[in-house]
Amino acid sequence: MKLNRTEYRSLYQKASPSSPSLRNVPAAFVTGGAICALGQALKTLFLQAGLTEQSAAAAVSCALIFLGVALTAARLFEKLAKWAGAGTLVPITGFANAIAAPAMEFKTEGFVLGTCVKMFSIAGPVLTFGISASVLYGLILWLAGGAA
Amino acid sequence: MIYLKAFLVGGLICALSQILIDRTRLTPARILSAYVVLGVALTGLGLWEPVVRFAGCGATVPLLGFGYAMAQGVRSAVAESGLLGAFTGGLTAAAGGVAAAVFFSLLAAVFFSAGDRS
C-alpha cells in the first residue's frame, strides 16, 4: 500500500486515540488540585506534630508516595489515572506509580531482572536528569563563589 | 486560604500538563524528567521560590517541587561544604522520596501482582 504524506497523517490520526481536552483538562485540574490540597493538609498536620519546615515537606512527599503506591497495589490508580490523566501523573503520586506499576507488572520476568530492573524504566531517566541538573546547578553555584 | 491556593496552583500545573500531553503525545518518562529539570532550573533562577511561598504544596507536590527540593538541597550543601556539596546536595534532598518510592514499590511487588489488564 502506497501512501502520501497527507493520507498517512489522516490514517495516523484515526489510529491514535484522541484525547478529548474538554473533558481531560478539567479532570486533571480537579484531581491535581485535590492532591496538592491533601498534601497541604498533611503538611499542616506534620507541622503541628512538631516537625521542622523541611522535615514536614519530606514527610508529605513520603506520605503521598505511600498513597500512590498503595493505590497502584490496589489497582485503583490505573482507573483514577485513566480519568484524571496529568492530574495524577504530575503530582509526586505519579512518580510513585511510575515505580510501583512496572515493579508489579514485570514480576513475571523475575524478581531481579523483572521487578528490580523495570521499576526504574521511568524513574531512571527522571533521576538521571534530576541528579545531573542538580549537580550542574551546584557546580554553577560553586564557580560563582558560594551560595546565597 | 492556603488550601485554596494549593488547589488552584496545583490544579493549574496539572491542567497545563494535560494540554501538553494532549497536544504533543509526550511519554510520561519525558514529561516527568522535564518537570524535575524545569524545577531545578526555575529554582536556580529564583522564579519558583515565590510560587512556593504563595501556593505551598500546590507548588511543591507536583514533580516541579522535586526539582525545587533538589536545587534547594544543592544550594545549602554548596554553601556548607563547597564543591562536594554540588554532588551530595541534590540526592540528599530527594533521598526521602526516592527511598520511600523504591521501598514501598518493592513491598507492593512482593505482595501484589498487576493482574491481567483486560
Judged by a CB distance cut-off of 8 A, whether residue B103 touches chain A is no
pLDDT at residue B98 tops 50:
yes
The partner residue sitting opposite A96, judged by closest CB among B69, B101, B107, is: B101
Q: Which helix (H) or strand (E) holds A131?
A: helix A120-143
Residues in B touching A61 (Cβ below 8 Å): 66, 69, 96-97, 100
Q: Would the pTM count as exceeding 0.90?
A: no
How many Å lie between the alpha carbon of A92 and the closest alpha carbon of chain B?
6
How many Å lie between the alpha carbon of B83 and the closest alpha carbon of chain A?
6
Give Cβ neighbours of residue A140 (< 8 Å, ≥ 6 apart): B44
Confidence of residue A46 (pLDDT cuts 50, 70, 90): very high
Regarding an ipTM greater than 0.85, the answer is yes
Output the CA torsion sign for B62, B46, A128, B29: positive
Q: Do B33 and A100 touch (CB under 8 A)?
A: no
Q: Do A99 and B102 touch (CB under 8 A)?
A: yes
pLDDT at residue B116 tops 60:
no
What is the pLDDT, as a whole number, of residue A147? 44
What is the pLDDT, as a whole number, of residue A74? 93
Confidence of residue A148 (pLDDT cuts 50, 70, 90): very low
Cα–Cα distance between B69 and B88 in angstroms, integer?
A: 13
The domain segmentation of chain A, as residue ranges, is: 23-143
Task: Provide the 10 A C-beta neighbour count for residue B10.
Answer: 33
